[in-house]
Amino acid sequence: MTVTNIKRIGVMTSGGDAPGMNACIRAVVRTAAYYNIECYGILHGYQGMIDNKIFKLESNDVANIIQRGGTILKTSRSEQFMTAEGRKIAYDNLTKFGIDGLVLIGGDGTFRGAQVFYDEHKIPSVGIPGTIDKDLAGTDFTIGYDTAINTVIDAIDKIRDTADAHDRMFFVEVMGRDAGFIALSSGISVGAEAVLIPETHTYIDQLISKIENGYRRKKLCHIIVVAEGDDAGGAVKVAELVKEKFDHIETRVSVLGHMQRGGSPSCNDRLLASRLGYASVVALLEGKHNYMVGVINDKIAYTPLSQANKQEPTINDELLKLVEVLST
């Protein structure tokens, strides 16, 4: 490995929290220790840089956190960092600690901030995809996604029990303002009768027809999974539109909300977080700056932060077809 002159790195979490962030922090800190690099934690993301909430992290400080959800470094979104004045304050604070490299765990907003920060102050960074939405190009999976979909599956399995007991129709809203990966994967896995996502246009009349066909086949309970960003509206709006046709059927809405972000990370998320945390430190040492580290075909991959932002992941058409076929 070709080693650069980086001696001190900072690590932070930013944007929405995701299960597995703590496992990733642990990997960053311990990899840095292995290579004799000092590591500093930054509380509350970019705002913590501005507020000088920076402290040294040793290996012992990250003991017993791999199984914990949330993030010990906390997270937030910083409007102040969006200004040149705020970024200058952040740079000055990092300079006080001699930090010459950053590991940033977050999503596209985090990476956009890193690019601007480098352009102005030349502190190199490596991004790690930490978001339950799995909506970043350059990686097959993001930290938190696997745990989130398993949380959704567990919740909908329980909902189906009561839907079946009462012959009810449930509309379940899951997270996914701009991407339908959570809805699509969990919808297939729970045997949903329909899945509504932002990437495709929702035709209410077709949904009604599908439900009618189900009742003709004596299907007495229905689960409709709705991503929050679906163009027909969230689960509440879609349920209202459908209920106009099926006012004789008991209809319920469940919005799963932020429970999808919480909980102990799955084995897959702990493993992914550990691999990416390690790879991020190695990338900085090897001079791979301003990249996002991800996993593609089970191999570590490096994508420029600009491409991770601009490229939009696409939904697998085969999965869309699978919903249609298996829900008949």
What residues act catalytically? 133
Among 136, 86, 73, CA closest to 109: 136
Report the Cα–Cα distance between both ends of the chain, in Å, rounded. Answer: 55
